[in-house]
Amino acid sequence: MKADSSLDTCSAGNIKTMKLFKKPDHPRRWIVAAISMAVITAGIIFWAKLTKSDSVQCKTQNASRGDITVIVTATGTVKPTKTVDVGSELSGILKSVEVNYNDKVKIGQVLATIDPTRYEAQVTQSKAALDSAKARILQAKATVSETRSKLEKYEHVRKLSNNKVPSKSEFDAAQAAFERAKADESSAIAAQAQAQASLDAYQTDLSKAVIYSPINGIVLTRSIEPGQTVAASFTTPVLFTLAEDLTQMELHVDVDEADIGQVKEGQEATFSVDAYPNREFKAQIIQTRYGSKTVDGVVTYETVLKVDNSDLSLRPGMTATADIVVQKVQNAMLIPNPALRFTMPTESQSKSSRGLVGALLPRPPGSEPKKRENTNDKKNQKQVWALKERQPVAVSITTGVENGVVTEVLSGDITEAMPLIIERVSEGK
């Protein structure tokens, strides 16, 4: 919509001239006529000034047809689609660091190595304990076999001697020895399992002494140097931060609670960053989160936008200002927003501006202000003032969307290029 404005005269009064008296013959009448003439002249001058004071200059802008776009602005941070913090569960001295900042890595690539000496010793010790447990199992099995044979022999002799030989006490002792042998075998088997578990745990620790990349990506941060001691007693220290793919980024913005109702998935947006002030990047909303954040009393909702970063211009952590297109109307009747804020002064305001003399004297013809029409209580029912034949006329309209500069007119007696009053520029000038 054109922002050109013009000055028009809202109303004007007419000044009528009056015929003067003829010169009287009598001196006294001449004096009276002179006084009368002076009074009439003063009245005419005052009347002219009063009429001129009712001539008001109004600034106008024309209604027009065009497209209107409603935009929600939000700020946020550019982030990779996926980042992984690589740490260590083990404590120890870093033997080597194999990658640096901005290095591209692949899954399984070695990033760093912790000195494995202590963990190798633990593995060796566990292997010895496992071998000892296996030997005890063999010994326990031999004892079981021996006591079983002895018990079977006692049973055979007892059967042949009709339960007379061996004595009951000897038979019971042989039977108890066999049961103890079986228990010792079970204990040895359990000890072997325990030794095997310890060995597996130490072997796992030993394998973790070499730190591998879990994803294909790029190294964003490296927090360690060779020879540095890693302490992982209570928390896992972050050694590297990897980004999976910087060609596809995300923009996380905080949308104000007053605007979140208009923001939906799939809407297009543009944004800019300080690094490229003359460039606009395109984005698309992929998620609006329900969780809120309150900062300095302002409630916002995090919204995620998908960004194509094929040329790697954008970097993680950049601050961006995004304009989200929430609504777009084509070929709409548009009026300037100042026209909606303009109100014509009422009759009481005009009288007070004329002062005491103006209130006593009659108003010039044609200068009586029009009474303002009552507007509808509905929010989208508005009233604007248009100039028709150089006279201000109130027009009731129904408004639609607005973008802070112009407003869509859904219904009302508004035509293209109609001059709308936006300001009273001067009065009595």
Q: What pLDDT score does 372 carry?
A: 44
Q: Are residues 337 and 314 in the same domain?
A: no
* Residue 99 forms part of a structural domain: no
Q: Are residues 321 and 342 in the same domain?
A: no
Q: What pLDDT score does 83 carry?
A: 92
Torsion of CA 132, 133, 137, 142, to 10 degrees: 20
The dihedral of CA 227, 232, 237, 239: what is its sign? positive
d(CA 50, CA 44): 10
Closest CA to 211 of 251, 245, 240: 240
- What's the number of domains the chain is made of? 3
Q: Are residues 37 and 56 in the same domain?
A: yes
- What are the structure tokens assigned to 240, written together? 């590297």
d(CA 10, CA 361): 22
Residue 40: pLDDT band (50, 70, 90) is confident
Q: How much of the chain, in percent, has pLDDT values that exceed 90?
A: 67
* Residue 223 forms part of a structural domain: no
Q: Domain holding 403: CATH number?
A: 2.40.420.20
Q: Are residues 339 and 419 in the same domain?
A: yes
Closest CA to 422 of 384, 379, 365: 384
Q: What pLDDT score does 389 carry?
A: 84
Tell me the mean pLDDT in the region 92-103: 95
278-293 exposure pattern, b = at least 16 Cβ within 10 A, e = fewer: eeebebebeeeeeeee
Q: Are residues 289 and 373 in the same domain?
A: no
Tell me the C-alpha to C-alpha distance, in Å, between residue 299 and each of 118, 259, 294, 295, 320: 53, 11, 4, 7, 19
Q: Are residues 293 and 337 in the same domain?
A: no
* Residue 106 forms part of a structural domain: no
Q: What pLDDT score does 366 carry?
A: 43
Chain mean position to CA 20: 80
Cβ-based burial of 314 (10 A; exposed 0-12, middle 13-18, buried ≥19):
buried
* Residue 225 forms part of a structural domain: no
Query: Which of 139-148, 353-362, 367-376 has maximum average pLDDT?
Result: 139-148
Q: Domain holding 122: CATH number?
A: 1.10.287
Q: Are residues 350 and 388 in the same domain?
A: yes
* Residue 200 forms part of a structural domain: yes
Tell me the mean pLDDT in the region 121-126: 96
Q: Are residues 127 and 197 in the same domain?
A: yes
Q: Are residues 74 and 140 in the same domain?
A: no
Domain assignment of residue 300, given as a range: 70-81+243-329
Tell me the mean pLDDT in the region 381-391: 89
Q: Write out pLDDT tens, residues 293-340.
A: 998 899 999 999 999 999 999 999 999 999 999 999 999 999 999 999
DSSP 13-72: --PPP-PPPPPPSSHHHHHHHHHHHHHHHHHHHHHHHHHHHT-EEEEEEE-EEEEEEEEE
* Residue 220 forms part of a structural domain: no
The residue among 296, 329, 362 that closes a domain is 329
Q: Other C-beta atoms within 10 Å of 117: how many?
A: 12
Q: What pLDDT score does 35 carry?
A: 76
* Residue 414 forms part of a structural domain: yes
Q: Are residues 300 and 350 in the same domain?
A: no
Residue 97: pLDDT band (50, 70, 90) is very high
Mean pLDDT of the residues in the chain: 84
365 compared with 252, residue with greater pLDDT? 252
The residue among 161, 184, 208 that closes a domain is 208
Q: Domain holding 312: CATH number?
A: 2.40.30.170
Q: Are residues 316 and 346 in the same domain?
A: no
Q: Are residues 343 and 323 in the same domain?
A: no
Q: What pLDDT score does 16 carry?
A: 37
Q: Which residue has the tokens 């211009």?
A: 313
* Residue 403 forms part of a structural domain: yes
Contact, 206 vs 120, CB < 8 A? yes
The residue among 299, 329, 359 that closes a domain is 329
Q: Other C-beta atoms within 10 Å of 208: how many?
A: 16
- Beta strands 319-336 and 268-273 are antiparallel
Contact, 304 vs 291, CB < 8 A? no
